[in-house]
Chains A and B, each alone.
Chain A
Amino acid sequence: MSERVLCAILTDPSRAAHLTTDQWTSVLTIAHAERLAGSLAHRLSGLVLPLTVQSVLDAARLNAEAGRAHALWELEMARRALAPLGCPIVVLKGSAFVAAGLAAGQGRLIGDLDILVPRSRLDDAEAALLAAGWEWAKPNAYDDMYYRRWMHELPPLIHKTRDRMIDVHHTILPLTARPRPDAEALISNAVVLEGSVSILSPADMIIHAAAHLFADGELDGGLRNLWDIDRLVREFDQGNAFWDSLNQRAALHHLNSAVDRALRLAQVLYDTPVRTRVRRKWTDALFRARLLARNGWGQNTRRPLRFAFYIRSHLLRMPPLLLIRHLWIKAFGK
Chain B
Amino acid sequence: MMFATTMRVGPIGFRIGSDWSAPIAGLEALYRDYQKPDDGIPHFTVRLEATRFWRRFIRPSVQIAGDHTLPEALPLPLAQAVLAAEMAMNLQMALGQRHFLLLHASSVERDGKVIILTGESGSGKSTLAALLGEAGWRLLGDEFALIEPATGLAWPFPRPISLKNDSIAVMEAQVGAERFGIRICGTPKGDIRHLIPNVTALKGMDTPAQPALILFPRFGAPRAVRDVQPSEVFIRLTQASTNYVALAEPGYTALTRLVTQTSARAIDYPDTASGLALVEQLWAELA
Contact = CB atoms under 8 A, between A and B. Distances in A.
Q: In the complex, is A directly touching B at CB under 8 Å?
A: yes
A156 interface: no
Given A32-B68, A63-B246, A52 B99 contact: no
B284 interface: no
Interface stretch (A23-31, A86-94, A165-173, A236-244): A23-31
B43 A56 contact: yes
Interface string A66-101: 100100000000000000000000000000000000
Interface residues of B, number: 25
B216 to A, nearest CB: 27
Interface string B236-266: 0000000000111000000000000000000
A58 interface: yes
A218 to B, nearest CB: 16
Interface of A: 21-22, 24-25, 28-29, 32-33, 50-53, 55-56, 58-59, 62-63, 65-66, 69, 297-299
B248 A69 contact: yes
Contacts of A65: 248
Top 8 nearest A-B pairs by Cβ distance?
A: A59-B98, A21-B40, A32-B67, A52-B41, A62-B98, A50-B39, A52-B39, A29-B45
B37 interface: yes
Contacts of B99: 55, 58-59
Contact of B47 (A28, A53, A69, A297): A297
Contact of B41 (A32, A53, A299): A53
B45 A297 contact: yes
8 contacts: A21-B39, A25-B41, A32-B45, A50-B41, A63-B246, A66-B246, A298-B45, A299-B47
B38 interface: yes
Nearest to B43: A56
Q: Which of A28, A29, A52, A66 has the most CB of B within 10 A?
A: A52
A49 to B, nearest CB: 10
Contacts of A69: 248
Given A59-B97, A62-B98, A297 B17 contact: yes
B47 A55 contact: no
Interface string B11-44: 0010101000000000000000000011111110
Given A55-B43, A66-B246, A298 B67 contact: yes
A193 to B, nearest CB: 24
Interface of B: 1, 13, 15, 17, 37-43, 45, 47, 49, 65-68, 96-99, 246-248
Contacts of B15: 25
Given A58-B98, A297-B17, A298-B45, A52 B67 contact: no
B248 A51 contact: no
Given A55-B99, A59-B96, A298 B66 contact: yes
Contacts of B40: 21-22, 25
Contacts of A59: 96-99
Given A32-B67, A59-B96, A59-B97, A52 B38 contact: yes
Contacts of A52: 13, 37-39, 41-43
Contacts of B66: 298
B1 A297 contact: yes
Contacts of A63: 96, 98, 246
Contacts of A56: 41, 43
Contacts of A58: 98-99
Contacts of A24: 41
Nearest to A23: B41
B272 to A, nearest CB: 37
A238 B125 CA distance: 62
Q: Which of A51, A58, A62, A69 has the most CB of B within 10 A?
A: A62
A298 B39 contact: no
